[in-house]
């Protein structure tokens, strides 16, 4: 199997005494049209800091590209809403019934799972089921340079139906750890950017963050200079949360956020300030806004530990409900991954009006970092197990 393994990532994870249950599935060169001839699954367990490794492959699946494109088009057309956290929305030219939309979503889910039980890949699925009990907590990371792969709804993999304590994340092909300055403190520090709010209600996000036991600095429609200055704050930040309008390029290579009604910034526009914030302890970025995978792709280049984004347009009420449920679960002691899964799954009642919104939240993981707990953030120290 001619697949390069990122030895720095393996070494960084193995340095931790107990990295937890981690499954990292690395897809090498290829795409959905030609398949992936080299796939490696590396498995760390609670009682072993060194991974086992299993080779496999994935066949071509051009139908997944077509199904996702059709689903995305129908989602954007059928569910484009007045209160969506995207500045510019597709023109609504067609109308579809919920039945048609749900049928297409079902076809995409079936197609994904047929791909993942194909003969070249099924040995990995079987190995994972042999290695873990259904009650085990685990983090599953899909690592690929291909943006189309990272955009797939991996949480629909049948594996996660049986393993309720597992959650999925996507990752860029390579990553590293930034040396950080430990800054002990008694409260978690959150920088909340309340950007352009035309047509949406970011006040609810403000109320949610104000209700938790943390020191929150709110920047309401800041100028670029104001935002840059806050990111450079010597005390450092634990969590960055953006609420407002955002979008990404179609290929997922880049994105932008509207920090006010005039200024639209990309991650490179804030590169120096964000790098300084990460060195001073920034562990997590939450983009509670539309179509954020492009933002995550650029921010991953700076080696931030964790990012949460929405993969497509997000209705205002969905963004608010997700943020509320996530911070409640995370601050209540649940692990980062389990807090995301719980918050994502609690969106299901809203699907009566907005189908498939449980598909939207995505974790973008730096594999060389261990996700923090609320307590480790409060201490101002990186998690070590």
Residue 193, strand partner residues: 219, 242
Residue 3 has pLDDT above 50, yes or no: no
Q: How many helices (H) and strands (E) does the chain have?
A: 13, 15
The tokens of 75 are what? 């989602």
18 or 43: whose pLDDT is higher?
43
Determine the pLDDT at residue 91: 46
pLDDT-wise least confident of 31-35, 85-89, 243-247: 85-89
Q: Average pLDDT for residues 247-253, to the nearest whole number? A: 83
> Quick check: 124 and 56 in contact, CB under 8 A?
yes
Determine the pLDDT at residue 79: 56
Residue 129 has pLDDT above 80, yes or no: yes
Instruction: Looking at the chain, list the stretches that DSSP marks H as alpha helix, in order from N- to C-terminal side.
Output: 7-14, 62-78, 98-116, 122-131, 147-151, 159-162, 203-210, 224-231, 271-279, 293-300, 316-331, 336-345, 374-379
> Quick check: 14 and 42 in contact, CB under 8 A?
no
Determine the pLDDT at residue 86: 55
Determine the pLDDT at residue 90: 47
Would you tell me the crossing angle of helices 271-279 and 224-231 to the nearest 10 degrees?
20
Determine the pLDDT at residue 175: 81
**Residue owning tokens 């997944």:** 64
6 or 135: whose pLDDT is higher?
135
250 or 163: whose pLDDT is higher?
163
> Quick check: 243 and 288 in contact, CB under 8 A?
yes
Main-chain phi, psi angles of 305, to 5 degrees: -65, -55
pTM attached to this predicted model: 0.91
Determine the pLDDT at residue 87: 53
State the pLDDT confidence band at 48, using cuts at 50, 70 and 90: confident
Residue 89 has pLDDT above 90, yes or no: no
pLDDT digits (tens, 9 = 90+) for 258-284: 999 999 999 999 999 999 999 999 999
% of the chain beyond a pLDDT of 90: 76
Range 131-144 burial, b when 16+ CB lie within 10 A, else e: ebeeeebbbbbbbb
CA–CA dist 239, 380 (Å, integer): 11
């Amino acid at each position: 199997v001619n697949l390069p393994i990122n030895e720095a990532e393996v070494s960084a994870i193995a340095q931790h005494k107990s990295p937890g249950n981690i499954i990292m599935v690395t897809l090498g060169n290829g795409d959905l049209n030609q398949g992936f001839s080299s796939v490696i699954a590396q498995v760390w367990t609670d009682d072993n800091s060194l991974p086992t490794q299993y080779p496999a492959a994935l066949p071509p699946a051009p139908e997944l590209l077509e199904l996702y494109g059709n689903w995305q088009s129908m989602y954007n057309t059928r569910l484009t809403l007045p209160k969506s956290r995207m500045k510019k929305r597709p023109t609504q030219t067609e109308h579809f019934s919920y039945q048609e939309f749900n049928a297409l979503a079902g076809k995409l889910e079936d197609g994904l799972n047929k791909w993942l039980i194909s003969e070249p890949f099924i040995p990995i699925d079987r190995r994972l089921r042999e290695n873990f009990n259904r009650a085990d907590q685990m983090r599953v990371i899909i690592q690929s340079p291909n943006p189309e792969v990272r955009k797939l709804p991996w949480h629909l993999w049948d594996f996660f139906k049986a393993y309720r304590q597992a959650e999925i994340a996507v990752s860029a092909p390579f990553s590293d750890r930034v040396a950080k300055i430990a800054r002990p403190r008694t409260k978690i520090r959150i920088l909340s950017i309340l950007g352009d709010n035309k047509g949406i209600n970011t006040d609810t996000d403000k109320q949610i963050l104000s209700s938790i036991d943390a020191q929150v600095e709110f920047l309401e429609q800041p100028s670029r200079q104001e935002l840059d200055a806050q990111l450079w704050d010597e005390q450092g930040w634990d969590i960055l949360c953006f609420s407002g309008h955002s979008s990404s390029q179609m290929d997922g290579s880049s994105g932008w956020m509207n920090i006010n009604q005039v200024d639209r910034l990309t991650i490179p526009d804030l590169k120096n300030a964000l790098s300084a914030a990460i060195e001073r302890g920034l562990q997590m970025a939450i983009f509670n806004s539309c179509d954020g995978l492009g933002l995550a792709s650029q921010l991953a280049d700076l080696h931030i530990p964790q990012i949460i984004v929405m993969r497509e347009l997000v209705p205002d009420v969905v963004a608010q409900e997700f943020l509320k449920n996530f911070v409640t679960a995370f601050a209540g002691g649940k692990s980062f991954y389990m807090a995301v899964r719980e918050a994502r799954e609690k969106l299901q009642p809203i699907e009566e009006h907005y189908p498939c919104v449980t598909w939207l939240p995505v974790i973008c993981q730096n594999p060389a970092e261990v996700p923090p707990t609320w307590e480790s953030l409060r201490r101002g120290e990186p998690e070590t197990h």
